[in-house]
Amino acid sequence: MQKLIDFLSNGHSNFVHFVRIAIFIVMAWIGGLKAFQYEADGIVPFVTNSPFMSFFYNHSNDVGVNDKGETVAQYKLHKNPEGKMVAENIKWHQSNGTYIFSYGLGTVIVIIGLVTLLGIWFPKIGIWGGLLTFGMSIVTLSFLITTPEVYVPNLGGDMPTPHFGFPYLSGAGRLVLKDVIMMAGGLIIASDCAKRIKAIGNNM
């Protein structure tokens, strides 16, 4: 047991660097996927319902009528399931600005990941990566308040739906909630960079 304690204690700085690498992998991978149609379509419900980002879209908040005669937001009528290509829906997303916004967002996310990774060698740069990761996580977690799709819907069926709405997270909601970890990681690496910057100053 003592050997394990010594290993964990002595490896602290390396583990903090591993947090940086992990954040970079997540940011680079997810940010890179924003260049593809299915991922761009998938973030529409989050962006449309966000007071921080909805203005980037042209008309996803416009309303239409679904096949049940219900009035719903336009984006719900043009949702492409992952792995399915519907030409009419893609055309709507093009006019909505879905893809242009996704390209821009993906670029920002990848840059945050790179800045975070550079903190391994350059703490003055890395501190911004940690703070930006923290800030981005706050925006992402706000989707738990603004996006209906993060909770299980009441779709009915052969019997009443027993669990729906808050606090029953859907697949999208469970994905969003994990950003609590990204938020904590951002603060940890920003704090580590600040500590290293302070140490350099004291040694001068």
Q: Parallel, antiparallel, or unpaired: how do β-strands 63-65 and 71-73 relate?
A: antiparallel
Residue 37, pLDDT score: 94
- The residue that leads in pLDDT, 202 or 176, is 176
Counting residues of the chain whose pLDDT is more than 90, the rounded percentage is: 79
Average pLDDT of every residue of the chain: 94
| Owner of token pair 């879905």 | 98
**Tell me: the pLDDT tens digits for 134-193?**
999 999 999 999 999 999 999 888 898 999 999 999 999 999 999 999 999 999 999 999
Residue 204, pLDDT score: 66
When mean pLDDT is compared across 41-45, 49-53, 103-107, 153-157, the lowest value belongs to: 153-157
- The residue that leads in pLDDT, 107 or 9, is 107
Query: Cα dihedral sign for 47, 50, 52, 56?
Result: positive
**pLDDT exceeds cutoff 90 at 59:** no
Total-model pTM: 0.91
> What six digits make up the tokens of 181?
């970890």
Q: Work out the angle at residue 152's Cα, subtended by the Cα atoms of residues 55 and 167, and round it to the nearest 5 degrees.
A: 95
